Structure 1
Amino acid sequence: MIGLPARLLAAVVALLAAVLPIVEPAVADAQPATQPSPLPFLTVQIDSITPDVVTTTSDPMVTVTGTIRNVGDRAVRDVVVRLERADPVASSTALRTDLAGNVDQFQPVADFITIAPEMARGQNVPFRLSYPLRSADHPSFDVSEPGVYPVMVNVNGTPDYGAPARLDDSRFLLPVVGVPPDQQNDAATDTVTSAVPPDTTRPVGLTMLWPLADRPRLAAGAPGGTTPVRLIDDDLATSLAPGGRLDSLLTAADFATSPQVDPGGEVTGGLCLAVDPDLLVTVNAMTNGYVVNDAADAGPRTTPTHPGTGQQAAIGWLARLKALAQRMCVTATPYAQADLDALHRVNDPALAAAATGGAADVVDQILGVASTRGATIVGDGPLTAAAVDLMSAQGPTVALAAANLTGPDEADGGQPQTADTAPVRYTPNVVTVPFDPAVGAALAGMGTAPESPSYLAPSLSISVKQDSAIARRQDALGALLWRGLDPDASPRGQLIMPPLMWNATAEDAEAVLTTVATTIRSGLAAPRPLRAVLDEAATVHGSAPPPADNVGNPRGRFDDGVVSGIAATTNRLRGLTDALTTDDRTGLTGPQYTAPLREDMLRALSQSVPPDARNGLAQQRLTTVGGTVEDLFKAVTIVNPGGSYTLATERSPLPLALRNDLPVPIRVRLQIDAPPGMTVTDPGEIVLPPGFLPLKVPIEVHFTQRVAVDVSLRTVDGLSLGEPVRLSVHSNAYGKVLFFITLTGGAVLVLLVGRRLWHRFRGQPDRADLEADPHRPDPIEVALAYSDDERRRR
């Protein structure tokens, strides 16, 4: 009892320590602390930046507006905000590292401004900060040279029970293509500081791929000829409709390359549509009407569906794409944006060929164009040695992939690095044209669903979801312009590759293409067609060491279990396809019937889904397709008679009935396990048409008994079909014994008849007659006596 107060006091002290925050030393004059507060008290949201790209004709005032929110559990007093900027970006890695982490490189543009004496919980307060780009007499950004400048909005405050601290910040890149003139209107002097144009002596050869792709939407496990087409959801209808994601991307490209906007064809020459053939197959199928699964994870055999709503949107979007494709470059992505590293591990050459070379055939057929060939877009994953091996086996190609880039913490010497975008040859068949991963990651951060590509090194990954869409757009525009604005950056070739599953909004797409036009027309870049890039890369010689495998950055890598499952399913499907033939009535061929299931294997390896969800969705699709393939094998079988057969003779045929529920004929073979004493004549290869086929198998038996005969059906290559059947067979034949007995009896009969005839011809009585019993009554006399008795009774 004596220890209870002490324990109670200790508990109270512990409770107070848990509730009250740690009090930090006060920051004089509300200066920013080296680290933000560990507790989320305030958040800053940037709402607008004007101008987004500064040129020599822009307004010299840069204005940033936004909103500060109190998201904490207490009030915050003395909320102040100011702008800060860093030196212009001088490396690829700085495009990422200046947007997170250390703040030592930032210098204040002006003093803090109080925006609220106190902010209650849940309160929002807007702010507006506007300063000239340069000024001798007033606070300014102090920018006198073109470049890409990191800018930070710094928010300080004092939470209740706490001390002044930096509670949040938001950073973005401000690209300055040219410094506008500074008008100084002073009473004593009226001077004008001239504009500062960019250095255009070393323009960058610019090539941009404009992706038109989507996640796989076709329901898994539906063979060819299945009508109506079934989708897993109806999101594509929204994306294709006016204002949707794919509509906005297509509209932006159509507008930016139109003769009215691009009369000289500069943007058109440097732009190429990167189209996913799986998207074209899906949209083309939607134009004929389709249904949508009621459940997102339902397979094609699930009956609950509802009509899709995007038929007209699909018709209109596809027609516009066909028209645009007639006047500009088009190239194909790998089918369904399949991961080439995982595809190499599947080790199926036919599937690899369908993903790479076959993709262009689909694009050409649906769009009615001759697409630009010779390029393989690696997509949103890193280029690995396995991917290089896969491409090398397919023939000469140019891989468009992210360059190898790591952060200063991982680089030798800890210095900032600039991505090397010079072409590199790995094998006689494969040369790569790299793009800057920092630029690609900045573009991936745009839109409503920002993501960090899996090719990005972990040291360069920053949290993008907490930033506003405006700030992320600024980062993308700055990254896109950086190489052209830095005359020291080399090489002077730039491939711009947004993520294939790009979630850019209509405003984002318009801003990117406007910036591309600006950098070309200002002389910072020159359009370089994709065909020229590929031809130039083909002349590169040498043999560089293969790239590293994806072991240091396993994010987004497909598990070995998924890969092995796809390999097994694909192998069974190929065996079935080899046995199928063409239906003369419909013209449907075996490869056409199973093609959607092979494509499902590529959809399972798609990089279009977020890296953390790839394995789960792949396993789900694989399970559905595996079930469908198993059903196809069971659809070809032997009809079980459910009784027994009785053979009248030793050569009576064995009657069977084969059933084929597939819509195409299939080449099969019978395997009959006959017991000893039964000989079966192999009927050879049988072409089994759809429906039933009665069949008589020649056999020969040499016994009289009931036996069990096992009959199974296989493809011509030995794959088992359907379920084996056990037949009960009863034979009444005596075989060779009966044959010899009959032959012997016949011979004896012939001898006896011959002997009797011989004696009759010679007039001699037969010995059988002479040896008759003398006491035996004459048959005629017996018959007459019987007749007399009958007459007397009557």
Structure 2
Amino acid sequence: MTPPRRRRHAAARIATLLAILTMLLVPAALPQAFAEPPDDDSGADAFVVITLDSVDPNVVTTASSPTVTVTGTVSNVGDRTVRDVIARLEHAPAVGTAEALRTSLTGGTAQFAAVGEFVTLAEKLDRGQEVPFRFSYPLRSDSEPALNVTEPGVYPLLVNVNGTPDYGAPARLDYARFLLPVLGVPSETADADAPTVSALDLEGVVPPDTRKPVAMTMLWPLADRPRLAPGVPGGTSPVRLMDDELATSLAPGGRLDTLLGAAEFATSGPVDPGGEVGRALCLAVDPDLLVTVNAMTGGYVVADAADGLGAASHPGTGQAAAVGWLERLRALAARMCVVATPYAQADLDALQRVNDRGLNHFDTVVAADLVDQLLGVQSMRGATLVGDGPLTRRVVDLLGAQGNTVAIAAADATAGDPADLAVRRVSERVVAAPFDPAVGAALAAAGQAPVAPNYLDDSLAVPQRDGAQVARRQDALGAMLWRSLDPQTEPRRQILMPPLKWNLGPDDAQAILTTLATTIRSGLATAAPLPAVIAEAAATPPPVDEDAISSIGAQTRFADDVVNTIAGQVGRLWGLTAALTTNEQTGLTGVQYTAPLREDMLRALSQAEPPAVRNQLAAQRLAVVGGTIDDLFGAVTIVNPGGSYTLATERSPLPLALRNDLAVPIRVRLLVDAPPGMTVTDIGEQELPPGFLPIHIPVEVHFSQRVAVDVALRTADGLPLGEPVRLSVHSNAYGKVLFFITLAAAAVLITLTARRLWHRFRGQPDPADLDRPESSRSEPAEQNLHDERTP
């Protein structure tokens, strides 16, 4: 029998071992209690996901209901059942800095406090199921749970969901954060649905401070990613697109239709009788989009290949939609401000690395002329929308080379270093008019396809989550209003710059433009037309502030291979273009013929493409463009006869045939590599029309033999065209020495013949016959004598 002491020691050892095993295994099997759920939308370790359906009111005003209602759903997206699903609404103090517009939406949640108690949403939520929730709390109250909103501002709110997954412990499973902008605090007894406002409703109202309104300008972008198929020269019909997504986007309910329709409605007479919104707004139009839509109006085809690069195609479906959308845009542009973006939203920093003056000028100057031509308006000059990229030293150098301009670009800012929005001169010709990157990023996140702008510092990035469209809309509205609601912030001006390729739904577009109008009409902001902003900024005196110039992140930088490829291609293309002339029959010029290929190079640098695939897509586009440029150079050739030429005389011309498969004439020069003894006359520059052109090259040959003659074509500036041809030439010429010998022999022969004839006519023997033998001279006499003796 085991002694009691030993049994107690054995039991203690077993208990210790079990405790150690429990400590090692339980944390691996159970989620951490109330741990922060993942901020990204990857779905890693996610059990449930919150989707906000509505926030009412989305912007609180003094005339709003004093109660805020938040609705949504909680969905089980995990691999197991979740039990005891509970949720509550939490709130945080008003945002105090522009950076907090971003940082309050990510990171820890210690600043949030509960508004009310947890409420049970479901005792059991199986896989794939969802359950709705609804929270409704007053802005302020002394007797019941409330949001504690007592003054205007932008307030972060949070929906917190807890539950117990099977095989786990109770934990926070997901949360959704968003901003609630409060323009004014309504009365606690106000009724937003009442037809009239009573004196009682005005008691306790807290209006906003309107003593220092913000001068507000908003750019409303109309742009898209490049759609025209690469490598198609001008004059080609029908136009080919890489895909037919524009047909959907331009049609009713599409992205571009929504953006245009929202601007039309917000600036119409009944909605904007005073024209304040119309003065604050300016359409930012991408010339590449206009070129594409205008081409669609004449009929087009769509590439069959998934990557849009194949030659096979089928008819497009968006011709009617393109016609209608373009007519509406022309009508809207005729009554409001229009400014051109860089062509195809090209990355100006990468473009300066290409270092081609012609391409730079086209992207920033000629692009505005295209907008004027296609819309029939005079678009704004003097401003450059840097767009989604930062204002780097290269961008400043590129813009300065084109003339005086105001660069509208994001200011530098991090979570610990606020943005300085003061207008400043960054070079002798360039003035920076910055916008807040935190506000720009919030606008970029709004809509159905959120994006993170290239200029945004990582410390201000907010992970984008599925099902958060309503939350992102709230964040955008809060970011728009924050500067207006804080009278202490300087300067009292604000440029709202969304991403150029903005994907808003109808509700998002309406909410944003309604908020812009509300801000102006409430006195918190005044409309600042873009022409006035440009004029004021252009008057900024020296000195130059180098600190306002930004850097660019490696993750958004175009690869050196892409830049070098463009630099090589555009140099060859300019050289070819210089040799092209106008086709008198069609009116197509050389510049128009090669313009789409230069535009393709700008499309390759488009910031509308996601950073992760930009270099890959650019390389694919440039490969097609490079092949087309090679084909253009190879389309002008010398027709190889395939046999040999025979020159009848020493001065017989050398006949050739030239072929031009281009759509426009080209000026060429012939280079003839002749062997010694052959002299070739330079026929100079020749204009070769489309088709065939026979020519004759004057030559002089001083030998009689078969030789090889190499002939090549060059542009007027010396660029090689086609392939050189080797001709086999046989000459019958005798040369100068043989000519004189022949001439002398002929003279001697003529002289001797004349002398013989002379003596013959005179009946005298030819002296040349005196040296003959006697028998030969007497034979005729003897013969005559013999004849006489014969009877």
Aligned to 1:714: 714
Q: Displacement of 1:42 after TM fit? A: 1.7
Residue type of the partner of 2:373? Q
Please say if residues 550 and 557 of structure 1, whose CA atoms lie closer than 8 Å, have aligned partners that are also in contact: no
User: Which moves more between the two structures, 385-394 or 554-563?
Assistant: 554-563
Partner of 1:234: 244
2:55 corresponds to: 49
Query: Which shifted more, 70-79 or 434-443?
Result: 70-79
Matches within 5 A, 1:729-748: 729-748=729-748
Residue 144 of structure 2 aligns with which residue?
Answer: 138
Query: How has the CA–CA distance of structure 1 residues 35 and 338 changed in structure 2, closer, same or farther, with 3 Å as cutoff?
Result: closer
In 1, the alpha carbon distance for the partners of 2:326 and 2:231 equals 25
Structure-1 separation of matches of 2:744 and 2:201:
138
Q: Which residue of 1 aligns with 2:545?
A: 544
2-structure distance, mates of 1:225, 1:358:
19
Structure 2 distance, partners of 1:781, 1:339, is 116
Tell whether 2:41 aligns with 1:40.
Answer: no
Match of 2:82 in 1: 76
Corresponding position of 1:788: none
Q: Contact conserved, 1:116 with 1:125, CA < 8 A, in 2?
A: yes
Which residue of structure 1 aligns with residue 366 of structure 2? 358
Q: Does the 8 A contact of 1:442 with 1:476 survive in 2?
A: yes
Q: What's the CA shift string for 1:5-39, capped at 9, x where partnerless?
A: xxxxx9xx99997898444676xxxxx55677983
Deviation at 1:754, TM superposition (A): 5.6
Q: Are residues 488 and 546 of structure 1, via their aligned partners in 2, closer, same or farther at CA, if it must alter by over 3 Å?
A: closer
Given that 1:638 and 1:656 are in contact with CA atoms closer than 8 Å, whether structure 2 keeps it comes out as yes
Q: Distance in 2 between matches of 1:171 and 1:779?
A: 143
Residue 372 of structure 1 aligns to a residue in which SS?
Answer: coil
Partner of 2:222: 212
User: What amino acid is aligned across from residue 128 of structure 2 in structure 1?
Assistant: G
Which runs of 5 or more structure 2 residues have no equivalent in the other structure?
A: 1-16, 192-199, 786-791
Once structures 1 and 2 are overlaid, which stretch shifts more, 173-182 or 706-715? 706-715
Q: Distance in 2 between matches of 1:432 and 1:184?
A: 45
Counterparts of residues 768-779 of structure 1 (less than 5 Å): 768-776=768-776
> Does 2:351 match 1:343?
yes
Change (3 A) 1:34 1:72: closer
| 1:742-787 superposed Cα distances (whole Å, 9 cap, x missing partner) | 12213323443465577679886431133344433899999999xx
Q: Does 1:106 align with 2:112?
A: yes
Moved more, 376-385 or 528-537: 376-385
More deviation in 750-759 or 108-117?
A: 750-759
Q: Which residue of 1 aligns with 2:411?
A: 403
Q: Answer yes or no: is the 8 Å Cα contact 1:170–1:467 preserved in 2.
A: no
1:200 equivalent in structure 2: 210
The CA deviation string for residues 96-147 of structure 1, in whole angstroms up to 9 with x for no partner, is: 1100111111111111112122322222111111100010100000000000
Partner of 1:583: 583
1:90 lines up with 2:93 in the alignment: no
From 233, 240, 245, the counterpart of 1:223:
233
CA contact (8 A) 1:133 1:143 kept: yes
Give the partner amino acid of 2:173.
L
Match of 2:297 among 287, 312, 331: 287
Q: Residue 252 in 1 paired to residue 253 in 2?
A: no
DSSP-derived class of the 1:573 partner: helix
Distance 1:298 1:724, change over 3 A: farther
Return the TM-score normalized by structure 2. Answer: 0.91
Partners in 2 of 1:33 and 1:666 — Cα distance?
72
Q: Could you tell me how far apart the structure 1 residues matched to 2:554 and 2:290 are?
A: 30
Map 1:168-187 → 2, pairs under 5 A: 168-183=174-189
Q: Distance in 1 between matches of 2:386 and 2:630?
A: 32
Q: Residue 682 in 1 paired to residue 682 in 2?
A: yes
Instruction: Give the letter for the 1:740 counterpart.
Output: F
Tell me the equivalent position of 1:277: 287
CA RMSD of aligned residues (A): 2.6
Aligned partner letter, 1:269: R
Code of the aligned partner of 2:304: D
The whole-number CA distance in structure 1 between the counterparts of 2:311 and 2:564 is 30
Cα distance in structure 2, aligned partners of 1:35 and 1:219 = 44
Conserved 8 A contact 1:36-1:165: no
2:564 maps to 564
Q: Is the 8 A contact 1:204 1:526 kept in 2?
A: yes
Q: Deviations over 1:398-437 (max 9, x none)?
A: 11111111122xx4xxxxx2x2222111111101111111
**How many matched pairs?**
755
- Letter of the structure 1 residue corresponding to residue 383 of structure 2: A
Partners of 1:386 and 1:549 within 8 A in 2: no
Matched-pair contact (CA < 8 Å) for 2:65–2:190 = no
Give the aligned residue type for 2:263.
A
Instruction: Say if 1:385 and 1:547, in contact at 8 Å, map to a contact too.
Output: no
Q: Specify the alignment match of 1:120 in structure 2.
A: 126
Aligned to 1:504: 504
Distance 1:249 1:783 in 2: 128
Local SS of the residue matching 1:611 = coil
CA distance in 1, matches of 2:481, 2:778: 136
Q: Distance in 1 between matches of 2:370 and 2:201?
A: 63
- The 2-side partners of 1:57 and 1:774 are apart by 153
Amino acid of the residue matched to residue 204 of structure 2?
S
Call closer, same or farther: CA 1:298–1:214 in 2, change over 3 Å. Answer: closer
Partner of 1:379: 387
Separation in structure 1 between the aligned mates of residue 740 and residue 584 of structure 2, nearest angstrom: 52
Measure the CA separation in 2 of the matches of 1:536 and 1:781: 131
- The match for 1:392 is 400
User: 1:107/1:696 Cα in 2 relative to 1: closer, same or farther (>3 Å)?
Assistant: same
Distance 1:204 1:770, change over 3 A: same
State the 1:193 CA deviation.
Answer: 4.6
Change in CA separation of 1:626 and 1:517 when aligned onto 2, cut-off 3 Å: same
Q: Where does residue 749 of structure 1 map in the other structure?
A: 749
Equivalent residue, structure 1, for 2:789: none
**In 2, Cα distance between the equivalents of 1:779 and 1:346?**
104
The answer as to whether partners of 2:32 and 2:171 remain within 8 angstroms in 1 is no
Residue of structure 2 in register with 1:727 after alignment: 727
Question: Which has the larger displacement, 108-117 or 507-516?
Answer: 108-117
What letter corresponds to residue 241 of structure 2 in structure 1?
L
Distance 1:386 1:780, change over 3 A: farther
Paired amino acid for 1:398: V
Tell me the TM-score normalized by structure 1.
0.91
Corresponding position of 1:789: none
Deviation of the 1:200 alpha carbon: 0.4
C-alpha displacement of 1:607: 0.8
- The change in CA–CA distance for 1:322 and 1:702 in structure 2 (over 3 A counts) is same
Any idea what SS the aligned residue of 1:407 has? coil
Q: Which moved more, 1:355-364 or 1:537-546?
A: 537-546
Return the letter of the residue paired with 1:703: F
Shift of 1:78: 2.1
Gaps of at least 5 residues in structure 1 are: 1-9, 27-31, 412-416, 786-794
